[in-house]
Amino acid sequence: MTDTDFPASPAGTGAAPLRIAVVIPCYNEALAIAQVVAGFRAALPEAEIHVFDNNSSDDTAAVACAAGAIVTHVALRGKGNVVRRMFADVEADVYVMVDGDATYDASAAPRLIDRLVNDNLDMVVGNRVDDGQNALTYRAGHRLGNRMLTGAVAQLFGGGLTDMLSGYRVFSRRYAKSFPALSQGFETETELTVHALELRMPYAEESTAYSTRPEGSVSKLSTYRDGWRILKTICKLFVSERPLQFFSIIGGLLVLLSIALAVPLFMTYMHTGLVPRLPTAVLVTGAMLAAMLSFVCGIVMHTVTLGRQEGKRLRYLAIPSVRERARAAAARMHNPG
């Protein structure tokens, strides 16, 4: 058996019979959730389908339960809080995370899982491709915002993702169980991406069709509010994960400010032997001291960050890869005794 040849799974993928869980965060998706559950039941018949109802005010939970999903109620509002519960509560080898708005193609799930297992990855992102059925499906403003935010993450943390904000992803168990999940709302996609980049996890993108919502359902996404929250999350992650770079930039700006203020003072002193603007001289001295302090803070926090990353990396390495779990599943299948 080669590294990529595994027995066909009951779910219809090319992977070994791994435990697959479809985890669906939901808030007021009563009009769409039955379609989502049915689509993934058809695409992955042996998978467990979990719907995490985020304190909905409609019949989302009842509709999901009637459709055959395992329903969990999450009182704390926000997608990030739901993701935290999903990864904590569900036990599986492969996690398929998808929004409950029926905009993502369930039939693509086996292909995404195959890519995860056969390439021994930890995350596969469903890169959204507009199906062309409705001009409002993936609006130009959302595309632009996605490109800008994805580009910002690429510049700060590296990586080559083109759709960082996609809600359709497949994860390995060792990704799910090593993810700290600190965000609360829609900015969780940013945190999911940066976690993979910081631990240098293997990941990939697969193009998937993106469709319009069912008629009558309403998007919970606020373009400007959630865009601003995502931008703030990127900045926070830059400070916490790249402190040496951040404080070096601050220190460098303070040095430039000090030089800009000090040059006129120095020129005056050279011509007159006097320092007539004492407050400016004090400001220059303070800026230089602040610059030095900024560099020191960057070095100290960089050391702390390395320690945190090492801890997360060790936790990540303590869990077998998806390929090893597939091999173990295949061995159990062929040698049940």
- 147-158 b/e (C-beta count within 10 Å ≥ 16 → b): eebbebbbebbe
Give the full edge-to-edge strand order of the sheet including 48-53. 70-73, 48-53, 20-26, 94-97, 169-172, 123-130, 203-210
Residue 17 has phi, psi (to 5 degrees) of -70, 75
Q: What is the mean pLDDT of the chain?
A: 85
Distance (Å, rounded) from C-alpha 257 to C-alpha 290? 11
Percent of the chain at pLDDT above 90? Answer: 49
Q: How confident is the model at residue 178 (pLDDT cuts 50, 70, 90)?
A: very high
Which tops the pLDDT comparison, 265 or 236? 236
- What number is the average pLDDT over the span 247-261? 90
Residues in the chain: 337
Residue 48 has phi, psi (to 5 degrees) of -80, 135
Q: Residue 292 has which token pair?
A: 């030095």
Lowest mean pLDDT across 4-18, 115-129, 209-223, 272-286: 4-18
Q: Is the pLDDT reported for residue 193 higher than 60?
A: yes
- Which 8-state DSSP code applies to residue 255? H
Q: Is the pLDDT reported for residue 6 higher than 70?
A: no
Q: How confident is the model at residue 61 (pLDDT cuts 50, 70, 90)?
A: very high
Strands 123-130 and 169-172: antiparallel
The model's pTM: 0.82
What pLDDT is recorded for position 132? 63
Residue 235 has a CB neighbour count (10 Å cut-off) of 13
